[in-house]
Each structure stands twice: as structure tokens, then as C-alpha cells.
Chains A and B, each alone.
Chain A
């Protein structure tokens, strides 16, 4: 339970995923379930795809028609609560996740894939690591994840 251990339930998670037709292209998933005073995801989006509005306590709503999955909101979210997901094919999903730990993974490495409860669930392939000045120390890691974990994968842990 989100309130007792920090793990959102399936219903909450699904509520943030778009319809299947959208997810064939990369889309932002905002795992921000509470009304907290915060709006950088909305103001940083160059495509106006994340709505919060005047009252910054409103939880973000993504317009999946407009979202291009660029990933700018991912490193601008102070809660590290946004990631990008795309259903690549029948076998793999591609994620872009925020990462603020060292060592950073390197392209081509295989790392453990972790779920929201902190458990290792699979192996994932690191496809790309970006850390530009604009990202202000929050790296963006692009990973290939087996498709069956599309709703479970959340982060990476230690190189294999």
C-alpha cells in the first residue's frame, strides 16, 4: 500500500498508463498520486502535454496525444516520479528512467531490473545513458526490459 510502505497498488499503477494504442510510442507515466504543491513537470514540458493548472496541488494529467516521450519531465520531476515507457514489440519494452546514484551504468551493460517493492525481477539491457548540463545531475537511463514486466519494472540495480 502506498500509504504504509510506499508501493502503489496495481489499480493506481494502471490508472497512470495510457491505452495500448498510445504506448506503441514512448509516453510519460507520472506516478504522482497525491495532491502536493509541485508543478515542474507541467512547466518544463515543451509540448504542453502535462496539465496541472493554476492550483499547483493538482496531480498531473498527461495528454497522451501531445506527449512525445522526450523525457524532459523525467529529470525535471523533483520526486523522480516520472518515467517514459514504450512497447517496442512482442518481446521488449523500452524505458527511460531517472537515476541519481553512482556508479552510473554504461551502454551495453546488463543490470538487474527492480520493481516498485525493491525486488529484483528481471535482467535489463542498458541502451543509453545521458547526463547533460541541463539535466542537473539527474541521469536519464534508457533500458530494454522484457515486455512481461512493463507494468512492474521501475528502476535498475547493480551491474550483472
Chain B
């Protein structure tokens, strides 16, 4: 059985930052990533990030991915990376089982940081499974990683930051965005993103949603409609649009299945996107030395995931006896950064959610 002090599950912003900080403290780790490359969802984010300089604000996500990956590669003697590898089992005695190239591998570890991120939610409507209906993030991957367009005429469902940002990126790629639908009576994401779309001529239709998709083998048309204040379709408000792609951006839910597998205490918190583990102030779960970082413990911006990664990497290292020379200063700084990122009005739901999962 392979032995390593720290296993980090997920090579996205949280996992990479955790590995870097652990290595800086003197602790070696193994990053397990199921995709064929590390960087997580940053690799498709062509927009400049918000936040402050410490979280690489104003740098484009694609470039932040390069920074974080390079940081980890600098510690190649301490950080092992396994891509194309799926964690299939997690056991209470800190044994992690992996599947790579059809081979089953067992790893014995002392601590685990779970940084698996989140996946896009689906929306219920007639024929929502037709090809041509995508998660907004999937379209981003298709366009910005592979350079392939999802279609020519697109409607976006959901006006959160992802919906607004991906709509803008569709336009940058030369796609016609017909409109953005938002079931709520107000736009969900940052208004600067909304204004950016509106000035390009894209209507953001609040109190509107998709009623059904039409098409034989793939999406050809959609029916949209106006919603009343109980979110029911208003009769006679239906409108038919000819589209060849529909993007669903109605939120993310934490990929927390692995945590359920080892029996950490979990709670369903809608403010955080779904089922999340209970944690303490250092992101340690109810099982000792099992930590979480990033969207898996509550969906928010990648900036926070990066800082949570740094924080858990720092704390785990200390718990295993590797104390970073600047531990106290860094610890306070990471805490302050997280506080700062979440203290505005947009962080309110998140703050309430996090309160619910504090052990």
C-alpha cells in the first residue's frame, strides 16, 4: 500500500492552494484529480477575477490557473500529482482507494483535504434532456478550452454570475445570445455583469423561465413564459424562440458524496448549494484530520476557494507537525481575506449558511 502524509482530492483552485501551503510548511502531499489535467474550472474562465490582489483579482481565470499550477510544480519533490484518477473509496482509517488506468490503488494517509468542488444543477422542464441543452459551465469548457461553439443562437437560463459571465463569453466567441431568463423578479449576479450584457443588446428577462424544449433528436426551439409572484407561468405569456443551444445556469451543488462515504456529519443547507459537511473554524470535518476546502463545503467564488485551500494546507501541516515559519501571520491573513470576501451584501446568504454548519 502506498503511504503519504496528506492526500488532497481535487486539483482545482482549493486543492492546488492547499498543496502549495502544505509544501511551504514542509508537508508532502498527493493531489488526486479525475480530469486529465489540473487547474479545475479555472482553465475555462476567460474573464478577469474580482476580489483583491491576494486572490489574483483582475487576472483572468485562465492565467490564475497557470499561476497555481506553476506554484505546485515548483514543489515537484514534495507534491505528487495523479491526473485521470478517480477516488472510489474513502475509509475511516484514512485509506483512500483510487482507480487509474483501470488499476485499483490503495493509499494510506494521515490527513485528507477534500476539495472536489461542485457540479451544475439541472432544471426540471419538458424535454430538459434533449441534446443541445447544456450546463453553462459545460459550454464554457467547450468554447474556451476546446474552441468549439455549442450553437449559433443561444438562450441562457439563470442570471447569477455564471449565467451572466458565460453569456458575455458566448458573445465574445461570436454566438448570438437571444436573452437571459431569470425566474426571480431581480437579477441574481453582479449588476456590472448585467450592464455589460445589456449594453451589447442582450435582454435579461426577469420573472421569466423556460417552459419546454422542442426537438426530435436535438434542441430546435424553446417555449418561454412569464412567471407570477408564485413562480407559476402566466397563461398566454408564452413565447417561442428558435435556438440551437440552451444553457442552464441555476446554481451549483457541492460534490460532497465522498464525505458521506466516510460518515462525516452532514447537513443540507440551501444557502450553500446542498448537502455539506459540518466544519470547525479551520474547515476540519467531524472526522479528525479530514478537512474540506472550496465549493464542496459551500458554493462561492473561486477567490474564496483559493484562500480556503491555503488555510487548510497551513492548518493540516501544523496538525501533522510541520509548522510554517509564518504560521500565525498567514493564519490571520487568510481568515481576514475570507472575512473580507464574504462581508458584503452578496455574502449574506453564504454567511448564514456557514453559520449553520459550524461545529
Contacts and interface: CB of A to CB of B under 8 A. Distances in A.
Q: Are any A and B Cβ atoms less than 8 Å apart in their complex?
A: yes
Interface of A: 2-8, 31-40, 43-44, 54-57, 76-81, 100-101, 114-118, 136-138, 154-155, 157
Interface in B159-213: 171-172, 185-187, 190-204, 206
Contacts of B35: none
Ordered nearest first, which 10 A-B pairs have the shortest CB separation? A79-B192, A57-B344, A6-B194, A78-B48, A6-B198, A40-B58, A118-B201, A38-B50, A81-B192, A35-B344
Nearest to A100: B172
B347 interface: yes
A39 B57 contact: yes
B195 A116 contact: yes
Interface in B28-78: 47-53, 57-60, 63
Nearest to B185: A4
Given A4-B185, A39-B57, A43-B52, A32 B192 contact: yes
Contacts of B63: 136
A32 B53 CA distance: 18
A57 B343 contact: yes
Q: Considering residues A33, A57, A115, which has the most beta carbons from chain B within 10 angstroms of its beta carbon?
A: A57
Interface in B78-108: none
Contact of B195 (A2, A36, A40, A76): A2
A4 B58 contact: no
B341 interface: yes
A31 B201 CA distance: 18
Contacts of A115: 199
B172 A155 contact: no
A38 B204 contact: no
Nearest to B342: A37
B346 interface: yes
Nearest to A30: B192
Interface in B196-233: 196-204, 206
A33 B193 CA distance: 12
B52 A39 contact: yes
B340 A55 contact: yes
Interface string B3-39: 0000000000000000000000000000000000000
B345 interface: yes
19 contacts: A2-B191, A4-B186, A5-B194, A6-B198, A33-B191, A35-B344, A37-B341, A37-B342, A37-B347, A39-B57, A40-B53, A40-B58, A55-B343, A57-B347, A77-B58, A78-B58, A117-B199, A118-B201, A157-B201
Nearest to B159: A6
A153 B195 CA distance: 13
A2 B303 CA distance: 25
B169 to A, nearest CB: 10
Contacts of B303: 37
Contacts of A56: 51-52, 340-341
A38 B192 CA distance: 12
A36 B199 contact: no
Q: Considering residues B47, B48, B60, B202, which has the most beta carbons from chain A within 10 angstroms of its beta carbon?
A: B48
B276 to A, nearest CB: 21
Given A5-B203, A118-B202, A31 B195 contact: yes
A36 B190 contact: yes
Contact of A136 (B60, B171, B172, B202): B60
B187 A78 contact: no
Given A36-B192, A78-B57, A80-B196, 11 more contacts: A2-B194, A6-B194, A37-B344, A37-B346, A38-B51, A56-B51, A57-B344, A114-B199, A116-B195, A117-B199, A155-B199
Given A37-B340, A37-B346, A57-B340, A8 B52 contact: no
A50 B186 CA distance: 29
B195 A7 contact: yes
A79 B187 contact: no
B16 to A, nearest CB: 21
A79 B190 contact: yes
A7 B53 CA distance: 29
A54 B197 CA distance: 30
Nearest to A136: B60
A15 B342 CA distance: 26
